[in-house]
Structure 1
Amino acid sequence: MKLVSTLAFVTLGLAACNGGRTEPPMAAASTPMSLPAPPAAPAFSGPVLSPDGRCTETASGTAAVIEPGIGECDLVRLKGRAPTDVLVGESGKGQREVQVLYSEPGGRELYFFVNNRLDRVLK
């Protein structure tokens, strides 16, 4: 009987030590982890600029003015000359990003393209 009362006392003591605990129970270690989906292929069409400022194909665009949404080669066609510099890269989202610089007599113009579409202009 003395053994039973000792076990009951120890059990009650351990329960009291653990009674104020507010941490959530640990998750099971066998929970499967899902891998992120691979980035989608860039969604753009038409000729694009290479790093040397030349179009990869003949520009056949119909753009008449430089405005958001025109293609990279449309910009070169409308400007009438090759750009001063071209930076071609890829964003973390798998998008083609191109920066086209024109040095003009009145200053510099920087054109930002995302997936072969003019996104914004800095003058």
Structure 2
Amino acid sequence: MSLLPNAVIAAVAALGLGACVGSEAPVRPVAVTAPPAPPAFAGPVLAADGACTEPAPTAATAIEPGIGECDLVRLKGKAPTDVLVGAGRSGREVQVLYAEPGAKELYFFVNNRLDRIVKS
């Protein structure tokens, strides 16, 4: 058994590793910032029982994306069947259910603004 092949392998390995280390860009510190605060929302909001925390404004005239939670209740003319209030990555998240005869309507709000409607 000869030592020459082992010596050659060790030298090639050392050169290969040295080339990897020498070709890397210098490590630079990265500033870590806190995630941005969720956007604030204004106006009255729904409580878990479906009641508004304040009187609803009369600005909204149609159920469309962007209206407030209490505007929906005012436009529907009756209390919702169920309300789920929670906090998500985007801030305040509310789901409002209206169970109509033969159909269900689910309204999704993010920060007191209607985001989407699902009807089934």
State TM-score, norm by structure 1. 0.74
Say if 2:46 is the partner of 1:49: yes
Compared CA separation, residues 91 and 23, structure 1 to 2 (3 A):
farther
Give 2:33's aligned amino acid. P
Q: Greater Rg, structure 1 or structure 2?
A: 1
Aligned 8 A contact 1:66 1:78 in 2: yes
1:18 to 14, 17, 20: 14
Aligned 8 A contact 1:99 1:112 in 2: yes
Compared CA separation, residues 24 and 43, structure 1 to 2 (3 A):
farther
Q: Quote the Cα distance in structure 2 between the aligned partners of 1:48 and 1:114.
A: 11
Q: Quote the Cα distance in structure 2 between the aligned partners of 1:38 and 1:17.
A: 44
1:75 to 72, 97, 100: 72
Compared CA separation, residues 19 and 120, structure 1 to 2 (3 A):
same
Question: Residue in 2 aligned with 1:105?
Answer: 101
Identity %: 62
Task: Please report how far the alpha carbon of residue 24 of structure 1 lies from its aligned counterpart in structure 2 after TM superposition.
Answer: 3.9
State TM-score, norm by structure 2. 0.76
Deviations 1:21-44 (A, max 9, x none): 25446977xx75644324314321
Q: Which 5+ residue runs of structure 2 have no aligned equivalent? A: 1-8
Task: Please report how far the alpha carbon of residue 62 of structure 1 lies from its aligned counterpart in structure 2 after TM superposition.
Answer: 1.6
Give 1:19's aligned amino acid. L
Aligned 8 A contact 1:42 1:96 in 2: no
Question: Residue in 2 aligned with 1:9?
Answer: none
The Cα RMSD (Å) is 2.5
